[in-house]
Chain A
Amino acid sequence: MDKENCLGWLKGGKMYALNFDENLCTTCPTGDCLVKCQYMDVEKDTAVEEMVKISRGEDSFVFKDCVTCYGCEEYCKRGNHPFYLITERREEKGILTSPRAITKQWINIGEPQGKYRLGKVKEKVLSFGFMPEFLKWVRGRLFEDVMPSFIFGQEFFCNVVYIHFANTSIIKERLPMVVDNFKKLGVKEVVFIHDECYGAFAHLAPAYGIKVPFKSIHYFEYLYKRLQELKDEIRPLNIKVAYQRPCSSRLSSDKHHFVADIMELIGVDLVEREYQGENALCCGGIFSMCFGYDLANDVQKRNIDDMAANGAEYCVFNCPACQSTLGEKVAKRGIKPVHMIDICRMAIGEK
């Protein structure tokens, strides 16, 4: 699984291009991709007009105003990929979303270095991507039917985060290698513990025509099934929680319902609030790196105010990066930060 080997595969392979149908935009009855955007104020006709301009490689104010929340990938119900397209065009035009140093840093972090870790890999495997938190968090009865079959490291890192940085080239270069690394392990089913990785293989890869030779499973779905199997051991938690939806969840919006399903199963009151579902607000981590203090601070304040106003006692995180960004801030407001895995473990008496 050395890099040279993978690069050889790529060199002999093909270049990947985004599947984007401009006609779907020209005939779009809603313009939801931009109309629903929480960071731009756009009417339907303008939305359609701008997306067509972007598709044709023309300039658009969207390149300047888009904050890379991924939201439009969910808002578009016609199966087009507005955010991927915006990202492609930004890269072609050299329009930076983030400071160069930030982009370089993240690209360096994700570079394979041969330091990956493998458990006893079987046909079904848990993927921790490149999130070291999962090496500690993934344990207990919820995972005992798969563990210790796991993988971790840059060699299995989905690289999707680079769409924040208007850099799809690096994704198109690395993602096929990652797919190949999975292939070499002979895995048939991969449970992605980080939902951005799930989004990479279930959403982004098909959008670019990258074939994925295994079944991708979102960990919410996995947890839900396991909790059903362990139903007799669940003790309802009887707490009120707010859910912090990450940007990456926009790439797997069909799995979002599992949040409510799981909370119901473990006896948790998922508070109704303004910034939920399609209206969810970003944690602000990427915003601060790309755009500075004001945007991130405003979004974080509104988000946490909303959690507090609706009586949340806990904030449930899906993404460790969101938890790293917001955990301390919600805690200071008296709301306990907890990851989805941990709250599920609490329900079966493991925490």
Chain B
Amino acid sequence: MTDITQALAEIVGEGYVSDQPEEAYFYARDPGLMPAHEPDYVVVPKTAEEIQKVVRLANRDKIPIVPMGAGMALTGLVIPLKGGIVIDMKRMTGILAINEKARLVIVEGGISQGLLKAYLEKNYPKLRHSIPDSPATATIAANVMIHGQGRLSQQYGFNSDMVAGLEVVLPSGEICKIGSCSISPDWFSKGAPMPDLSGLFLGWFGATGIITKVALKLYPKKKMRDVEIFITDMEEIVPDIVHELTYTEMVEDITVFAQPLPMIFRDNHHITIFFTGDTDTELEFKRKMVWDALDRFIKSKDGGFMGVPPVMKPTLLDSPQRSVTRFADVKKGGGFEYSGPIILVEKYPECSRKIRELAEKYDLGYSGMARIIGRGHCMMYGFAFTFNRADPDMMERTRKALHEVSEYALEAGGVFWKPTVNEQKMALDKMDPNTRNLMGMIKKNIDPNGIMNPGNWEVN
């Protein structure tokens, strides 16, 4: 056992530290396409204080630190590019407080989406949080850190917009509270009416600190949910359809997808519309509002509601939607990756054309999928490709296609979501110089030794 390993063991306990190749192998990679790089150590702390001590140790010896949730981002954000210590947050799964009337919950930094969902369903059936369509093991903290989106994003924006406070271990080792909780016992706002310091951490992928607690806004959970799918063969009118739908204020979530397989989906764009109600009357009222909003497209024969058979509904209403994993295995071999720029909804047609062009050029299976954020303020458009992990040529073609997506996304006015390190560099290159300098100043001041997830958001 090295001195560092021994020191880490003294902090977290011997059973929760490793410098062995078995752990190094697994913590060197994520399920995406980025090349692996092994850490030197892995620790699994139980408390913020343990993290604090690990960070102080790392800072003293200038050892890189990479905080990790479930490692589901696919873009290599938790791959320890410069080795060092991976801090696996999975033991910090506490639900610390819940305020039913204010619809707020405070959780620890390693709790998964699935665990919080199950807890709320059991104890607070009228409350819910915005669940992304990632596997249920994905963590709350990592998801808000990457500005994830979920089932309520059409109504309330990015999942990071639903944060009501943070506790963060700074690179210097201090434990810092962000938001109302910094001066009040109550966690209800991440910033307002004070300066909003959450922006120093959200979106930084752990390069400025480690989130150890999150206060999250919860939302009403109605007794019933239903889904309708509006289809059109005209990609040009998808933005208009979304505009009409968001105007109704009746919809929980809107996603759009287009893919060539299975045959039922070929040739069309599918606008999937989720809505909720406490009674049949409420549900039917919303359904009628939604149908009426799109009636002009039905009349012009440019689109229509497909019949959603009862057997299909459980899959669609699943939250998170596990059907994504089936898509991931279309080519067999379980490979799946997507680049998902955040971009204006009006760019849907050109994104749609681009993915078809790339799929044809590189001979890849694809799905173009979008999630509407806010009332049509923007969308995440996922350029998703599926590949066989046992086929190096197919993996290389996927890499090339995704690289072209990155270049295209920037040209089209998009902003990378959970960007790879290469995409971060592309974004920094294109960024307004003053903004880039500001980011550099923040990073340099908050993490002078550059130990926090090095390689990410590095302004040179």
Identify the A interface with B (CB < 8 A). Answer: 96, 98-102, 104-105, 108-109, 111, 113, 285, 288-293, 297, 321, 324-325, 327-328, 332
Closest to A289 in B: B304
A102 to B232, CA, bound (A): 8
Cross-interface CB contact of B291 among A98, A99, A100, A292, cutoff 8 Å: A292
Additional 19 contacts, C-beta under 8 A, given A104-B268, A293-B291: A98-B301, A99-B297, A100-B233, A101-B303, A101-B306, A104-B266, A105-B231, A105-B268, A108-B263, A285-B307, A288-B307, A289-B306, A292-B295, A292-B299, A293-B292, A293-B295, A321-B307, A324-B307, A328-B310
CB distance from A339 to the nearest CB of B (A): 14
For the complex, what is the distance from the CA of A293 to the CA of B297, rounded to whole Å?
A: 13
B309 is an interface residue with CB less than 8 A from chain A: yes
Q: Mark B204-238, 1 if CB is under 8 A from A, else 0.
A: 00000000000000000000000000011100000
| Given A285-B307, A332-B280, A293-B302 contact (CB < 8 Å) | no
B232–A99 contact, CB under 8 A?
Answer: yes
Assembly CA distance A293 to B290 (angstroms)? 10
The reply to whether B307 and A327 contact each other, CB–CB distance below 8 Å, is: no
- Show 10 residue pairs from A and B whose CB-CB distance is below 8 angstroms, ordered by the A residue: A99-B303, A101-B306, A102-B304, A105-B264, A105-B267, A113-B263, A288-B307, A292-B295, A293-B292, A325-B307
A99-B302 in contact (CB<8A): yes
A229 → B minimal CB distance (Å): 33
Interface contact A101-B304, CB-CB below 8 Å: yes
- The A-contacting residues of B in range 270-304, CB under 8 angstroms, are 280, 287-288, 291-292, 295, 297-299, 301-304
B94 → chain A closest CB, angstroms: 41
- A293 and B287 CA atoms in complex are apart in Å by 9
Asked if B233 contacts A101 (CB within 8 A), the reply is yes
- Cross-chain contact A108 with B264 (CB below 8 angstroms): yes
How far apart are the CA atoms of A104 and B295 in the complex, in Å? 19
Q: Note all chain A residues with C-beta closer than 8 A to B311.
A: 324
Look across to chain B and name the residue whose beta carbon is closest to the beta carbon of A288.
B305
Known contacts A288-B307, A324-B307, A324-B309: A100-B301 contact under CB 8 Å: yes
The CA of A189 and the CA of B114, in the complex, are separated in Å by: 54
Query: Once the chains are docked, how many angstroms separate the CA of A105 from the CA of B307?
Result: 11
Within 8 A of A (CB), among B91-135: none
Taking CB atoms, residues of chain A closer than 8 Å to B291 are: 292-293
- Specify which of A98, A102, A327 lies most central, judged by the most chain B CB atoms within 10 Å of its CB: A102
Shortest Cβ-Cβ A-B pairs, 5 listed? A99-B304, A293-B291, A101-B231, A96-B301, A101-B233
B22-66 vs A: 1/0 string, CB under 8 Å? Answer: 000000000000000000000000000000000000000000000
Closest B residue by C-beta to A332 = B280
Contact B307 A289 (CB under 8 A): yes
A35 to B231, CA, bound (A): 35
Q: Which residue of B lies closest to A328 (CB)?
A: B310
A109 to B312, CA, bound (A): 15
Which residues of A sit under 8 angstroms from B266, Cβ to Cβ?
104, 108
Query: Given A108-B266, A111-B263, A293-B292, A100 and B302 touching (CB < 8 A)?
Result: yes
Bound complex: CA of A105 vs CA of B229, how far in Å? Answer: 12
Tell me the smallest distance from the CB of B301 to a CB of chain A, in Å. Answer: 4
A101 touches B263 (CB 8 A): no
Task: Considering the complex, give the chain B residue whose CB is closest to the CB of A107.
Answer: B267
Give the Cβ gap from A152 to chain B, nearest Cβ, in Å.
16
- Please, which residues of chain A bring their CB within 8 A of the CB of B232? 99, 101
How would residues 301 to 336 of chain B score, 1 for a CB under 8 Å from any chain A CB and 0 otherwise? 111111101110000000000000000000000000
Q: How far, in Å, is A115 (CB) from chain B's closest CB?
A: 10
CB distance from B361 to the nearest CB of A (A): 24
- Kindly list chain B residues whose C-beta atoms are within 8 Å of the C-beta of A290: 304
Residues in B with CB closer than 8 Å to A321 are 307
Q: Kindly report which residue of chain A lies nearest to residue B298, judged by CB atoms.
A: A292
Docked Cα-Cα span, A105 to B262, in Å, equals 11
Q: Measured between C-beta atoms, what is the minimum distance from B308 to chain A in Å?
A: 9
Distance, CA A99 to CA B297, complexed state (A): 8
A259–B208 CA distance with the chains assembled, in angstroms: 73
Q: In whole Å, how far is A317's beta carbon from the nearest beta carbon of chain B? A: 13
Cα–Cα, bound, A288→B292 (Å): 12
Across the interface, name the chain A residue whose C-beta is closest to B290: A293
CB distance from B230 to the nearest CB of A (A): 9
CB of A104 within 8 A of CB of B233, answer yes
Known contacts A108-B266, A108-B267, A292-B298, A102 near B288 by CB under 8 Å:
no
The answer to whether B306 and A102 touch across the interface, beta carbons within 8 angstroms, is yes
Nearest opposing residue in chain A for B232, CB measure:
A101
Chain B residues with Cβ below 8 Å from A109 are 263-264
The answer for the CA separation of A292 and B296 in the assembled complex, in Å, is: 10
Most-contacted residue by chain B among A289, A292, A332 (CB, 10 A): A292
The interface residues of chain A lying within 8 Å CB-to-CB of B292 are 293
Chain A residues closer than 8 Å to B310, beta-carbon distance: 324, 327-328
Q: How far is the CA of A331 from the CA of B84 in the complex (A)?
A: 61
A98 and B297 CA atoms in complex are apart in Å by 11
**Shortest distance from the beta carbon of A220 to any chain B beta carbon, whole Å:** 24
**A324 to B299 alpha-carbon distance, docked (Å):** 25
- B287 neighbours in A (Cβ, 8 Å): 293
